[in-house]
Chain A
């Protein structure tokens, strides 16, 4: 059990004890969604949750781009998460259509559509199912421009997939596979934290002239509600956003985990008098090295947190780059609070995920280093 013991020591600083029988009962979510202020620069807004903001982005796209098509499993009736509700009725069955159950085929087909000049928006029903398509994404989509000397490209391709833990998803409905794709030059990987972000980032992905993978935190589909602009707008890719400024510790995350870190930042301020700078990375690949490094130069401490397993997770890339660029500014080793190196568990989810207590403990360690 030596390996397991190391696992517990590494990043598992939680003193949380699990009461018997508590794991199987319904439990409160590990985060509280914190809406952003209403944006004023994009025109009239409407109350939307995450899946509705996605629908809005897709609606805008189908309206303005006559070549745009949406396809995937069950998208025609509206999708299993209701992201495509109403679009088939509005734009026609030749523009919003179902595919059979064949992920490799869906993405391969999408690449073909994109290469031929149409805007292809492919949906993979759960990020956990994306692996049959991994070859198509990595070997075909990502390398098309490079291998053809820029004669061809599939920049018109955007792949959307629900992502991340959901409370009861277990091994195959909870995965966060961004790290697999971060290892592939030629792709862009984007993960929004909220409805306003999602619509703007998705529209950027669709407009972007490179194949993009857009992961949507499924636990936020209904839970996250904001006032979202009705008209199209874009939020730039590869620009991390500093959500709150601070002077003592830099906290970096993406997607659902941002809301956990925001709470951790409050806890740190309240209980430790520690001022945290919270950064939403948003684009995993290519990531905004400058913003993160600038912050670490200021604070001297960095904590990165994600649900995906710690070994080889994207935090390792950030950590490595930051220590290269900011070595002399660091006051403490860079901390990664991530999922354990196990498959996403069936029964142990509340213990597995990098919750606020684990992050808080990590901050304490860094401050006292």
Chain B
């Protein structure tokens, strides 16, 4: 159908790279609608989780992703389902983009047997084929990601591993161990720092001697892009994946993004940043609005079409909620299941 070459003049900072991703990106109507659908689904799912948490139907820890949807959607658009991805605890978005249904995600949050981890993992521990979670301990997932990349290299399958972490985790020692190994052995690992400006309640300036997270890999080339623009994310991720598949070794991507919610549901999110700041991002840089406006102004879709998609998504999330609140909890035998392999 309609396809538009959008010249976006992507602002892209480079580290140890002669050239970066192309400044022009092509977006077809199908792609645009798909990215919209993906991001809007994640948005509505997260807002539903917020609601269920406040009703105490979801308990425990819950870290929401709304605001950062372009990162998950853009990355998934650039990689293959056979590539690998691992992230930290703000993982619901990636769980969805990696193929788990909203129903299974919400049921995991409510701790039911229909949840993607059988109700045993909760918010921070959701998994899917080629998606390794969902990790609660900050930074611990990064050496794992490097290891997965090693497996890809070893097996010669031309796959890459996308290893995500946040600005808070960027100061963990184990990241630097991972950078060293990945560079030494030229592992096909895309390290991605989702910089949402705050590690819990600590702003990046107060935590890091250098906030140029794309440069923190020192000898590893890096690039920094606008994480609120799904096309920027896609192009950058595509560039990074090509780099790795060409055998050039690891690469670091910094996505500048923002989360609307606080760190978790226990954090109102306004004691360390102003409501004005949050509102400004919502009105000027919301990833979903930006994509929609862009498509409308290029006549790639109509307002009614977007509305229809919204209605479909709303229904999908409602159905999923119905399931997540009525499905039974896992049986008591599950308490002792899966500690070891069950094979005698």
Contact = CB atoms under 8 A, between A and B. Distances in A.
Contacts of B124: 170, 172
Nearest to A171: B136
B333 A1 contact: yes
Given A24-B110, A347-B122, A348-B332, 14 more contacts: A23-B329, A24-B329, A73-B200, A100-B171, A100-B207, A101-B139, A168-B59, A168-B60, A172-B136, A340-B335, A341-B339, A346-B60, A347-B111, A352-B335
A3 interface: yes
Nearest to B337: A4
User: In the complex, which range does the number of interface residues on chain A fall in?
Assistant: 35 or more
Interface string A54-74: 000000000000000000011
A351 B200 contact: no
B201 A77 contact: yes
A351 B332 contact: yes
10 contacts: A24-B329, A26-B56, A74-B201, A98-B202, A100-B171, A102-B172, A102-B173, A132-B173, A168-B60, A172-B136
B173 A24 contact: no
Nearest to B56: A26
A316 interface: no
A352 B120 CA distance: 13
Nearest to A129: B137
Nearest to A100: B171
B125 A171 contact: yes
Contacts of A1: 333, 336
Contacts of B137: 128-129, 131, 172
B316 interface: no
B136 A101 contact: no
A219 B222 CA distance: 44
A149 interface: no
B122 A346 contact: yes
B332 A347 contact: no
Contacts of A128: 137
A187 to B, nearest CB: 22
A170 B121 CA distance: 8
A24 B339 CA distance: 22
A275 to B, nearest CB: 34
A253 to B, nearest CB: 22
A18 to B, nearest CB: 6
B106 interface: no
B330 interface: yes
A74 B61 contact: no
A129 B199 CA distance: 16
B57 interface: yes
B186 to A, nearest CB: 27
Nearest to B167: A101
Contact of A132 (B174, B332, B340): B174
B67 interface: no
A17 to B, nearest CB: 9
Main secondary structure of the interface of A (DSSP, over half): loop
B300 interface: no
A345 B202 contact: no
Nearest to A26: B56
Nearest to A343: B339
B335 A345 contact: yes
Nearest to B113: A347
Given A101-B168, A101-B207, A171-B136, A24 B336 contact: no
A278 B115 CA distance: 42
A4 B336 contact: yes
A77 B267 CA distance: 14
Contacts of A7: 336
Given A74-B200, A98-B202, A346 B120 contact: yes
A23 B201 CA distance: 32
B72 to A, nearest CB: 22
Given A18-B332, A77-B201, A101-B138, A170 B60 contact: yes
B188 interface: no
B330 A347 contact: yes
B328 interface: yes
Nearest to A125: B200
Interface string B38-70: 000000000000000000110111000000000
A74 B171 CA distance: 15
Nearest to B135: A172
Given A21-B329, A347-B329, A101 B337 contact: no
A132 B138 CA distance: 10
B208 to A, nearest CB: 7
A171 B199 CA distance: 21
A21 B113 CA distance: 12
Interface in B187-204: 199-202
B148 to A, nearest CB: 21
B119 interface: yes
Contact of B336 (A23, A100, A340): A340
Contacts of B171: 100-102
B329 A20 contact: yes
B169 to A, nearest CB: 7
Contact of A347 (B119, B172, B337): B119
B206 interface: yes
A347 B121 CA distance: 8
Given A170-B61, A171-B125, A346-B122, A24 B111 contact: yes
A24 B115 CA distance: 14
B84 to A, nearest CB: 23
Interface string A103-141: 011000000000000000000000011011000000000
Interface string A67-103: 0000001100100000000000000000000101110
B268 to A, nearest CB: 13
B60 A169 contact: yes
